[in-house]
Amino acid sequence: MEGRDISCPYPHDKITSMQSSLEKLRKFFRLEHENGYSNSAIIGGLAKMLDFWEGEARADGINEEVIQAVVQRLRSYDGLSPQSRADALKGLWKRIGDVYPEAAQKPRSVPGASEGTPRPRPATSEAASTRPNPTLARRPAPQPRSESMPGAKHSQTPAALNAPLTVLQGVGPKHAQTLEGLGLKTLGDMLYYFPRRYEDYSQLKPIKSLWYGEQVTVIGTIQSVHTRPIRGGAATIIEAILSDGTGSLRLSWFNQPWMANRLKEGEQISVSGKVDQYLGRLVMNQPDWEAVDIEHLHTNRIVPIYPLTAKITQKWLRGLMNQVVTYWAPAVVDSLPESVRSSARLMNLGEALLQVHFPDTQDSLKSARERLAFDEIFYLQMGVLRQKRDWKSVEGRRFSVSDEWLGARLNGLPFTLTSAQQRAITDIRADLDSGKPMNRLLQGDVGSGKTVVAALAASIIATNGAQAAIMAPTSILAEQHYRNFKSLLASENGIMSEAEVRLLTGDTPEAEKDAIRAGLADGSVKVVIGTHAVIEGPVQFKDLQLAVIDEQHRFGVEQRAELRSKGTNPHLLVMTATPIPRSLALTVYGDLDLSVMDEMPAGRQPVNTYVLRPQERERAYTLIRGQIKEGRQAFIVYPLIEESEKMEDLRAAVDDYEVLSKEIFPDLKLGLLHGRMKPDEKDETMLKLRDRQYDILVSTTVVEVGVDVPNATVMLIEGADRFGLAQLHQLRGRVGRSSAKSYCLLIPSNDNATENERLQAMAETNNGFILAERDLQQRGPGEFLGTRQSGYASGLRMASLTDVQLIEKARLQAQKLFEEDADLKKPEHSLLAESLQRFWGESGKGDVS
C-alpha cells in the first residue's frame, strides 16, 4: 500500500473545473490504481463503465477522439495483465491531459480556474465546495488521507455498496445499530434512504411578506415562549414568538407541554407550516420545526430532512449522508441501459442519488425524483411482464361452449347483458379456449354486474365436467353469490343439480363441510362458493379448472396463489370494483389481462348525494320515511371498521339502533348487522332484509362489500368524514341498484367536517374512476390499493402512482426492452438483470397482483 499514493498518476482530489464524465474517469482510475489494477473498480469490470460513460462524455461535450480512445482501451482492458493495465490507464490519462490540461493538474486545483473550458454542469456544483459548511456542500473536496477513500476506513470498490456502515468515519458498532433501526445496514441502503422532505433555504421568505394561507418555511429567532392552560387546565398551549427582523410570527403547539423546554429564547429555528390568522395576526399552528445551524442560512440551498429515530439528530445523519452520497453516489454504476436512459431522457443514477439528497435546484430535485421513480416502475413492470410470460408458458385446458348453449343461458337471465358485460364474456370465452391458463382481471365499478359474468364463466367450466371455485371476502357476500349462482346454474337453467353447487364458509356446520369436501374430492360438487374456507388445508379438488376471486383487493396475494394451487394451472378470474386508471392497472396488474366494464346496466340513475349537517339529521329521517312509504328500504351505516369493532364502539351502534327503532322509527321494522354477530345471525338478517321483512338495516361497514339488495334506495352514512373515498363509494354502491331513484346522505361527525373534501367529492360525482383518482392523490397507493396489497406497492418509495405520464413512460420502456431481451441475456443488460433480481428479491417474487 504505502507509497502508492505518491506514485498515483491520478489527482487525489476532485478537479473542480473538470467535466463530470472526466471526473468519473479520474475516480475510477484512481480506485483501480489502489486495487492494484485488478479490474475491480467497477462491478463486472471497467469496461462496464462504457455503458453509461460514453453517453455522458458526449453530453459533456468531450472531444470525440478522446472518447474513442477511452472506449477502445477499456474494451480490451480485461484481457491485459496488471502491468499493461497500469500502462493503458496511465497512457489514457496522459492523452486526456493533452486535450484537457486541467486533468493533468496535481491536487488542489483552484476552483473556477479554467474559465475557458466548456462547463455544461450547473455552476453551483463547483461553488458548493468552496462554501464554508462541509456538511452541506455538495461533493466537497475529500479530506486528504493516506488512503484515497474519503470517509471510508478501507479502500472499497463500488461493489462494496454492500459494505456495512461501520466503514464510515464516525460510525461505530453503536451507531451502526441505531442506523439499523432505520433499516440502514449498508452504504447502498443509505443512498436509497430518501429525505422525508426538504427545507428550501434558497426560497426563504421574510416574515413581513408572508401571506395568510401560504405553506412556507421561515427562519427566525425565538423572542419568547409561554405556556397557557386552556379548557380549565385540561390542556395546554405553548406559544412562541418568532422574529426575523422584518416582522414577527406567533407559533403555537397544542398539548405538547414538553415543547416549552425545547424552545429556548434567543435560539434560531426554522419552522414550516401553513400561515394562519388569529385575531388579525399571522400565526402558525403546530409547525414542523428544527433548530438551525447558522451556516445553513448562508448555504442558500435545499436541505434534506430525513426520517429519524430518537437517538440520532438530523444534523448528524445529514452529515453522514453527505459523506456517503458525495463519495458513493458518483461511483454507483447505472444499471439502466443507456438506450433506455437516453430515450426516456433520464438523469443518470449517480447524479440522481446525489441530487435527491442534496439538490442543487428544485428542478434538479425533480429530475432526480423522476429518475428514481422511473426505476421503480420500470423494475415493477419488468417483473410483471416476466410473471405474465411464465404464466402463459404452461398449458391450460381448453373449454368451449357453442353460441346456442350460451344464448340459452343468456335468455334465461332476467335482464339483457350490457355491452360491457358481453365484451367481458367474449374475452373470457376466448381465454378459456386458448390452451393457456386465463389470467384476467375484471374491473367494473360497483353495480356494473360482475357477478353474472363470473357465474357464466363457472357455467362453461361446469358444463364441461370440471370444477370451479369462487372466493369472496365475507360470508354475507359468499352467501349472496351462492343464491345467484344457484338460480343461474341450478334452478330454471338446469345446467346442474342443486347438490352440485355448494356454499362453504367458516360457519358451515362441520358435518356439512365434510360432505362438501368429500364432494369436491370425488368431483360430485362442481361449483363451490365460499370465503377463505375454500382454501383451507383439508379442501381438495378432483379437477379444479377455474378460480374466481371477488373483491380481490380484500385478499392477500398468498390467498390467491393458494386457491390457484388447488388445481393444476387452472384458469383465473379476479374481480375488482377498484376503478384505477388504465395505465396504472396495466402496471400494477400488468401480469393480468384486463377487461374493463365501464358501463352500468340500462336505466340506472346516478345516486343523489347530499352532505348534511348533524343538526339536519331529521331531514334524513324524513326522506327515509318517505322512501319506505313507497315500498323501498334503507341502510343506516355507522363508522366501525369491521375487523376492529371494539366493544364500546359496538355498544354505541347497538344503543343507536335502540334509539332508532324505539324512538325515531317506532312504526318501522329495523334490523341490526355488525361484525360481532354470529354468522347465521348475519345471514338471517341479510335474508330478512332481502325479503323485505326489514325496512331499515342499521349496520357497520360489513355491508360495504358487494351486498346487493336492489330494493334499497337510501344509504345514510353517519360519521361519514371518518371513511375514505373508496369506502364511501363502495357503501354508496349498495343503493342505486335498480331503476328507482336512490339517495346517499352523508352526515359527518361534527359540523366543521361538512366542508370535508372527500364528502364534497362524493356529492359532485358518481364516477368511481374520478373518485379513485382523488383518493389516490389524497392518500397514496398503499391506502388505495388496499392495505393487503401495500406490500406489493411498497417497493414504490419514490414513484407516485398518480403520475400517469411517468408510469406510462416507464411501462413502455420496459415493454420495449422486454420484447428485445426478455431474460436480459445480452451482456449490456447483465447489470440490469442483477438490479432486477435485487428489486424482486426484496419485495418477494411470485404471485404479484
Question: Binding residues for Mg ion, per CB under 5 A?
Answer: 706
Q: Give the whole-angstrom CA distance, residue 470 versus residue 479.
A: 11
Closer Cβ to ligand ADP, 485 or 723, answer by number: 485
Angle between helices 475-485 and 679-690 (to 10 degrees): 50
Closer Cβ to ligand ADP, 60 or 708, answer by number: 708
Q: CB of residue 429 vs ligand ADP: minimum separation in angstroms?
A: 17
Residue of 281, 286, 283, 212 whose CA lies nearest to 250: 283
Residue indicated by cell numbers 332508532: 660
CB neighbour list of residue 417: distance below 8 Å, 6 or more residues apart: 410, 425, 449, 452
Residue 601 contact partner, candidates ligand ADP, Mg ion, none, CB within 5 to 8 A by sort of partner: ligand ADP
Q: CB of residue 427 vs ligand ADP: minimum separation in angstroms?
A: 16
Q: Give the whole-angstrom CA distance, residue 17 versus residue 1.
A: 29
Q: CB of residue 740 vs ligand ADP: minimum separation in angstroms?
A: 12
Closer Cβ to ligand ADP, 238 or 424, answer by number: 424
Class of residue 493 by CB neighbours under 10 A (exposed 0-12, middle 13-18, buried 19+): middle
Stretch (H or E) spanning 637: strand 633-637
User: Sign (positive/negative) of CA torsion 688, 693, 698, 703?
Assistant: positive
Q: CB of residue 444 vs ligand ADP: minimum separation in angstroms?
A: 5
Q: Which residue's Cβ has the minimum distance to ligand ADP?
A: 449
Instruction: Write 767-774 long-range contacts (CB < 8 A, 24+).
Output: 767/445, 768/445, 768/446, 768/577, 768/579, 768/729, 769/445, 769/579, 769/580, 769/581, 771/579, 771/725, 771/726, 771/729, 772/578, 772/579, 772/580, 772/581, 772/725, 772/726, 772/729, 773/581, 773/802, 774/725
Q: Give the whole-angstrom CA distance, residue 12 versus residue 795.
A: 38
CB neighbour list of residue 815: distance below 8 Å, 6 or more residues apart: 381, 385
The CA–CA distances, whole Å, from 791 to 190, 411, 838 equal 21, 44, 16
- Whether 821 and 356 have beta carbons less than 8 Å apart is answered as no
Q: What is the 3-state secondary structure (H, E, C) of 148-168?
A: CCCCECCCCCHHHHHCEHHHE
Q: What are phi and psi of 732, to 5 degrees?
A: -60, -30
Closer Cβ to ligand ADP, 251 or 442, answer by number: 442
Closer Cβ to ligand ADP, 276 or 598, answer by number: 598
Closer Cβ to ligand ADP, 46 or 575, answer by number: 575
Residue of 468, 532, 533, 531 whose CA lies nearest to 496: 468
Q: CB of residue 615 vs ligand ADP: minimum separation in angstroms?
A: 34
Q: What distance lies between CA 205 and its chain's CA centroid?
A: 33
Q: What distance lies between CA 145 and its chain's CA centroid?
A: 43
Closer Cβ to Mg ion, 149 or 549, answer by number: 549
Closer Cβ to Mg ion, 336 or 528, answer by number: 528
Residue 415 contact partner, candidates ligand ADP, Mg ion, none, CB within 5 to 8 A by sort of partner: ligand ADP
Stretch (H or E) spanning 513: helix 510-522
Q: Give the whole-angstrom CA distance, residue 420 versus residue 98.
A: 70
Q: CB of residue 732 vs Mg ion: minimum separation in angstroms?
A: 14
Q: CB of residue 464 vs ligand ADP: minimum separation in angstroms?
A: 24
Q: CB of residue 348 vs ligand ADP: minimum separation in angstroms?
A: 46
Closer Cβ to Mg ion, 299 or 418, answer by number: 418
Residue indicated by cell numbers 381448453: 398
Q: CB of residue 625 vs ligand ADP: minimum separation in angstroms?
A: 25
Cell readout for 580 is: 384505477
Closer Cβ to ligand ADP, 133 or 448, answer by number: 448
Q: Which residue's Cβ has the minimum distance to Mg ion?
A: 706
Residue 775 contact partner, candidates ligand ADP, Mg ion, none, CB within 5 to 8 A by sort of partner: none
Closer Cβ to Mg ion, 282 or 476, answer by number: 476
Closer Cβ to Mg ion, 359 or 706, answer by number: 706
Q: CB of residue 455 vs ligand ADP: minimum separation in angstroms?
A: 9
Q: CB of residue 344 vs ligand ADP: minimum separation in angstroms?
A: 37
- Whether 746 and 720 have beta carbons less than 8 Å apart is answered as yes
Closer Cβ to ligand ADP, 737 or 809, answer by number: 737
**H runs (alpha helix) in 712-829:** 725-732, 757-764, 768-785, 790-793, 804-821
Closer Cβ to Mg ion, 304 or 706, answer by number: 706
Class of residue 770 by CB neighbours under 10 A (exposed 0-12, middle 13-18, buried 19+): middle
Q: How many residues does the chain have?
A: 849
Closer Cβ to ligand ADP, 188 or 736, answer by number: 736
Q: CB of residue 449 vs Mg ion: minimum separation in angstroms?
A: 8
Q: Give the whole-angstrom CA distance, residue 76 versus residue 566.
A: 54
Residue of 403, 131, 82 whose CA lies nearest to 293: 131
Q: CB of residue 403 vs Mg ion: minimum separation in angstroms?
A: 27
Closer Cβ to ligand ADP, 351 or 551, answer by number: 551
Residue 737 contact partner, candidates Mg ion, ligand ADP, none, CB within 5 to 8 A by sort of partner: ligand ADP
Q: Give the whole-angstrom CA distance, residue 61 versus residue 69.
A: 15
State the first-to-last Cα distance of the chain, in angstroms, to the nearest integer. Answer: 52
Q: Give the whole-angstrom CA distance, residue 289 versus residue 452.
A: 56
Q: Across the strands, what pairs with 718?
A: 747
Residue 710 contact partner, candidates Mg ion, ligand ADP, none, CB within 5 to 8 A by sort of partner: ligand ADP
The CA–CA distances, whole Å, from 320 to 60, 332, 717 equal 30, 18, 51
Residue 188 contact partner, candidates Mg ion, ligand ADP, none, CB within 5 to 8 A by sort of partner: none
Residues within the interface to ligand ADP (CB under 6 A): 415, 417-418, 421, 444, 446-452, 577, 601, 706, 708, 710, 737
Stretch (H or E) spanning 248: strand 248-254
Q: Give the whole-angstrom CA distance, residue 683 versus residue 792.
A: 34
Residue 466, helix vs strand vs coil: coil
Residue 304, helix vs strand vs coil: strand
Q: Give the whole-angstrom CA distance, residue 549 versus residue 490.
A: 21
Closer Cβ to ligand ADP, 381 or 451, answer by number: 451
Residue 444 contact partner, candidates ligand ADP, Mg ion, none, CB within 5 to 8 A by sort of partner: ligand ADP
Q: CB of residue 599 vs ligand ADP: minimum separation in angstroms?
A: 9
- Whether 447 and 733 have beta carbons less than 8 Å apart is answered as yes
Q: CB of residue 248 vs ligand ADP: minimum separation in angstroms?
A: 57
